[in-house]
Each structure stands twice: as C-alpha cells, then as structure tokens.
C-alpha cells in the first residue's frame, strides 16, 4: 500500500521539489475508486485486498482456481487465464505469488505492455513471477507510472541495475522473520511486558483477607477476620449469616438479610 500511495501522490516529484526548494502545486490522484488487480489470493494477497478495500478501491482478485468464497476479500475474482483481458482496464497491480514453476514469469512482457501508462506495479511475492527486464524497459519508456518492488529476480541486484537509482522505482527488502525487523536508517523499539506476579495461595488469601464494602445511602463496613473460610466453605454460608468477627448489618432492607 505504501508503494501505491507513493506513486499515486507523485512522491518522487514532491521529494525533488523539496530538494530544489520549489513551492508548486500540481494535481494528484486518489486511490478511492481506482481498480486494483491482486494476483495471488494467499495470506498476503488477502491482506492487501483488505487494506485496498478500506481505501475504497475496487479490487479484482486473480488465482488459479477462483472460488466464490474469495468474494469475501475482493469485489471480483477471476482465473489466471483471464489476465490478458483484465490488465488493460486496471490502475494498479499487486503481485503476491509464491515462487513455483507455474508462476515463473507469469506476468510477462505482453501483460506489462498492456497496462495503461498511469498504472503502478507492486511485487510483494517472488521476483521470478514477473519479467524484470520487460519491467525495466517499460519504466525506461515511461510506459508505467512506477514500480514498488519488495523482491527482485536476482538478489541483490547488480550495482549497475537502474532500479537502484530511478525515481520511478522504489525497492525495500523485507528481512526474514528469524532476524530482527531493523533496516538501515530506521530505529526500532522493543517492549518487554513485566512478569505477572504469582497468584496468592489459599492460605495467603485467608491470612490477608480484608473486605471494605460501602453502600449508599447507608454505609456498611464489614471487617473480615482471618478465620473467614474460602472456597467451598464460603459457599456453604447461608444467606443472612453474619461473617465471624464482623459487625452486624444495620441497613434496612439489606440484601444480605442480616440482623
């Protein structure tokens, strides 16, 4: 979603204006009402679809075997064989595909070239699922508005790869789950909850039992002595009984029925 917002709001131009101290106004698009194509409806794809629908985007989900149950996450679900018919009419594409022989190069040059010139491509799946050379060529020709890549076909990319320097492409490597989620230039904070104190034993509860009950309009104060039973013994007390060591209740009417 960060990549979609960055290129929809033309973040590269805003950063360039700040560097050049240029105070200018220019129109920007909104994500609301845009058509988003999510290729791959696994855990990541469904989460992307959920966030996109929260921003009032129209979400089209694509998976190998579409099911009506997917309509809980997307507005429309289609099969992967229909990609060529779908991509010309979408505003953004999010690839959330696993790396398998079936998905290798699935989003090829023909699909990339069929996208409209204002389209945004985001890949949060595997780098092998898209033709990276065709993507670079489309960005070079300004065929796309931008690309946000969490992965590349070869990691790390070569030092002379233009994806490092182009403002029409932003990339961010997600650290593996086994490592601390820390990236260069950003600091993280960790919070360790305090240990929960152990539950007092029954003997401790009997020794330290002290109850102060206040009712209105009359005040009822009952001091419970150390001989108060607990557990089943307390439940065996009859309604209206006065606890040992306590003052008799003088409120009327009293819910305890005391004397």
Q: List the chain pLDDT tens, one digit each, 259 residues.
A: 888 888 888 787 888 788 888 888 878 888 889 999 999 999 999 999 999 999 999 999 998 888 888 888 899 999 988 999 999 999 999 999 998 988 888 999 999 999 999 999 999 999 889 998 899 889 888 888 888 888 887 778 778 877 777 655 665 444 444 444 444 343 333 444 455 566 667 776 666 665 444 444 444 444 444 444 555 554 444 444 444 555 555 544 555 544 4
CB 92 within 8 A of CB 36: yes
Three-state DSSP state, 16: helix
pTM here is 0.61
DSSP β-bridge partners for residue 107: 130
Which domains are delineated in the chain? 2-171 (3.40.50.720), 205-233+241-259 (no CATH)
CB 121 within 8 A of CB 147: yes
Backbone angles phi, psi at 69, to 5 degrees: -65, -20
The DSSP output letter for 204 is H
């Amino acid at each position: 979603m960060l990549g979609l917002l960055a290129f929809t709001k033309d973040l590269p131009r805003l950063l360039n204006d700040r560097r050049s101290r240029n105070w200018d106004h220019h129109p920007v698009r909104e994500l609301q009402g845009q058509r988003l194509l999510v290729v791959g409806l696994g855990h990541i794809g469904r989460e992307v679809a959920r966030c996109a629908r929260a921003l009032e985007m129209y979400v089209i989900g694509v998976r190998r075997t579409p099911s009506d149950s997917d309509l809980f996450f997307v507005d429309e679900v289609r099969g992967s064989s229909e990609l060529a018919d779908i991509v010309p009419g979408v505003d953004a594409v999010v690839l959330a595909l696993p790396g398998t022989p079936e998905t290798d190069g699935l989003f090829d040059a023909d699909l990339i070239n069929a996208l409209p010139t204002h389209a945004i491509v985001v890949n949060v799946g595997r780098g092998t699922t898209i033709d990276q050379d065709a993507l670079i060529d489309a960005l070079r020709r300004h065929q796309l508005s931008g690309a946000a890549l969490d992965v590349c076909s070869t990691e790390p990319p070569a030092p002379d790869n233009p994806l490092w320097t182009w403002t029409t492409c932003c990339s961010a490597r997600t650290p593996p789950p086994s490592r601390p989620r820390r990236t260069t230039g950003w600091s993280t904070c960790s919070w360790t909850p305090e240990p929960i104190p152990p539950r007092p034993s029954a003997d401790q509860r009997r020794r330290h039992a002290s109850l102060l009950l206040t009712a209105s309009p009359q005040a009822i104060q009952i001091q419970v002595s150390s001989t108060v039973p607990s557990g089943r013994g307390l439940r065996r007390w009859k309604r209206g009984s006065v606890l040992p060591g306590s003052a008799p209740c003088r409120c009327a009417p009293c819910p305890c029925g005391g004397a």
